[in-house]
Structure 1
Amino acid sequence: MRYALGVEYDGSDFHGWQRLAPHGEAGVATVQATLEEALSTVAAHPVQVVCAGRTDAGVHAECQVVHFDSEAVRTPRSWSLGTTTRLPPSVCVRWCQPVAADFNARFSARARRYRYRILNRAVRPALGRQQLSWERLPLDADAMHRAAQALLGEHDFNAFRTVHCQAPHAVRDLQRLSISREGEQVVVEVQANAFLHHMVRNLVGSLLLVGRGEKPEDWMAELLAGRDRTLAGPTAPADGLVFLGPLYPAACGLPAELNL
């Protein structure tokens, strides 16, 4: 039987999503290794998972979707609650759903969504600091939003990926990129068919220069056309980034919040 899980986690204490040691061997703490260990205990056999989108060290997830296979007879409730009781407080399984044998958490997804929150005030945060980036200089969120609209559509995003990115090409379809102010916070919401390594954080890092007035609004379009990472802004910190989750065709039978 193949199952899909919705996993929520605080990435602060993890070295990213991807397991860094061979399955079953001890290594640095990653979300994948931690989840697989808990699932394997519930299943009473080794379990390996495939996720919708790997997250970097310090990045959080509201609803990471994974799939795994098991012959163990367990109810969805037993999978979700039994696994959660064996996870640290920073990780939980929100739901479990049986899925078709050809469902793939990564390849069945049609889009991914992220949110980046920036506390924009003179004093650093104390409360909620694990899910907030901080910028002390005033930001013009409207200017950031206008500049970002030049990036929408299918483009080569070489200017916004890390040199360590292993993707075979940098063409992505950026479907939504909005920036708005909510009191002291500037909120960036982005959706694309897929993302490059550090793409969201690199986009935010460049948009911050526009928000501070250090670069004009049309600079983002110039960066996109130039395809040169060395000309773009710095990579924004991981703290403020949350993977909201992937989107799938309704036929996959997952919770409505994940329907495209």
Structure 2
Amino acid sequence: MMIYSFSRLSLYETCPLRFRLKYIEGREEPVTKALALGKAVHKGIERVISGDRHEEAVLKGWAEADFHPEVSFDEISELVEKAPICPHMGETEVYFRLPLSDSPTAPEIQGYIDLVSGNVLVDWKSNRRPYGVLDNHQVGLYAWAVSRLRGVDQVEGSLYFLRYQKESKHVFDSHDMERSRQWAIVLAEKIDEKRLILDLAPEKADDLFPATPSGACRHCPFAAECFKKFGSAYLPSS
């Protein structure tokens, strides 16, 4: 049985075909600069909070990204330095794996929360384009997980965009968290149903998990292959 995450569900919502190629067929995707940088910066911040000196933390972050050729020590250092952190301010990389309902057959969701302190959570972003904490369900799902793990009714969740030292936060109540949980379980159950059909009728793969052209195709490693297979009708519109 597949264990879901926000990123997996979000990818399916963006393009079912890319989801199938990556998570069902197990196709490898290259490690991009953005992915490597995010991994390095997250590790660097985690190590500073754990008590490491800045330079040591940054070096461990760089190593975590396998010294990606497009990622520099200085860029990691600059972003880590912009994080509003101090040693031992909370728990880092808090892992959760929870069923999305009380049903014995409920799909499970997992994730790592960058920082949890009491009923407050933070997710660090190295993105070049900031957005609102309520623009997707990531922090809502993390808030729901914290509420389950800590037994609290409200969770303050925030996205912190390191490049701009800009924060977007919201106090998630039970209604907000339930909305994110419902989003996740509806998608997860839909994917599970399609995977069962795919096992019985593999020839229906493209109908079950269709290509969905969008601006996201610019960053998809399968875009050229997709265009060759489906033709000009599948060119992204933006």
Q: TM-score range by the shorter chain?
A: under 0.3
Structure richer in strand, relative to its length: 1
The TM-score with structure 2 as length reference comes to 0.25
The structure whose residues are more often helix, as a share, is 2
Query: Relative contact order: is structure 1 or structure 2 higher (C-alpha 8 Å, sep ≥ 6)?
Result: 1
